[in-house]
Structure 1
Amino acid sequence: MSNTDAHFQQLFQPKSQVNKDEENPTQLANRLTPTDDQIKNWLQSPQIKQWLTKLLMGIPNNLKTEAINTIIKNVIQNPDKDCRVQFGSSTIGVDVLRWQLWASYKLPYASGIKTPDCPYTLKKHLDTPD
């Protein structure tokens, strides 16, 4: 086997599973530890509802609300674990390391998939004066 072949083999070796905590210690140290009420208020905020209404065309708003309620329940039960809810070809989830909501959905009449992050994070929600 030539040197090139050996290098090619190394490129596609499965990487060992990296503990998320070790991956970015700075981000982990700065991670928010919100209360259940803070999580609930953030995910039920008008800003989140508005973001979801603009996204995921073709999905009824009641399904979006149900997905958010499921995410709230699951994240409150286990705040150290990301959560996602899938319906059809669309998914809504929350990244608990960054406390950011995200969506993934197929564009109507197109072959592409959109995966935007919600700009209204938990940190922004907590920093916003009431």
Structure 2
Amino acid sequence: MSNPDARFHQLFQPKKPVNLDDEKTALLANRLTPTEEQITDWLQSPQIKQWLTKLPMGITNNLKMEAVNTIIKNVIQNPDKDCRVQFGSAAIGVDVLRWQLWASYKLPYASGIKAPDCLYTLKKYLDAPD
């Protein structure tokens, strides 16, 4: 038996230390502070509706939009707190640190769970030309 190289574990170490506190601090420093109207317009935009419609979540599109309306109401009341709405094994929520909508659902006929983020963030909505 040969001796394993003492430096073998270093091969899988990140070259730069990962500091999650630094990432969170940077996100907090650059966090958007949208108005109620901006939040509502973003979450009711055609891009968000289209993204939700394409997800095979096992709930109707009307329930998906009802979840978004509930999220709007809750986020406007407390814009510093993430919000999610759950229907059975499906959930839709918003990350207010990144202002990104996400969904979570069980895949039909599979044992896995899918949790995609919507690429149409509030920042993209605000940066889009009118």
The corresponding residue for 1:119 is 119
Instruction: Decide whether the 8 Å contact of 1:81 with 1:96 is kept in 2.
Output: yes
Q: Partner residue of 1:38? A: 38
**Residue identity opposite 1:113 in structure 2:** I
Instruction: Give 1:25 deviation, angstroms.
Output: 1.3
User: Which stretches of structure 1, 4 residues or more, deviate above 6 A after TM superposition?
Assistant: 20-23
2:86 corresponds to: 86
Query: Match of 2:104, as an amino acid?
Result: S
Instruction: Report what 1:71 is aligned to.
Output: 71
Deviates more, 1:22-31 or 1:77-86: 22-31
**Cα gap change, 1:52/1:32 in structure 2, threshold over 3 Å: closer, same or farther?**
same
User: What amino acid is the match of 2:99?
Assistant: W
Q: What CA distance in whole angstroms lies between the structure 1 residues aligned with 2:77 and 2:22?
A: 24
Query: What 5-or-longer segments of structure 1 have no aligned partner?
Result: 1-19
TM (normalized to structure 2)?
Answer: 0.81
Q: Structure 2, unaligned stretches of length 5 or more?
A: 1-19
Q: CA–CA distance in 2 between the matches of 1:58 and 1:86?
A: 12
- Indicate the percent of aligned positions where both proteins have the same amino acid: 82
Which residue of 1 is the match for residue 47 of structure 2? 47
Determine the C-alpha separation between the residues in 2 that align with 1:115 and 1:52: 12
> CA RMSD for the aligned pairs?
1.6
Cα displacement (A) at 1:58: 2.6
Task: Give, in whole Å, the separation in 1 of the partners of 2:56 and 2:74.
Answer: 22
What TM-score, normalized to structure 1? 0.81
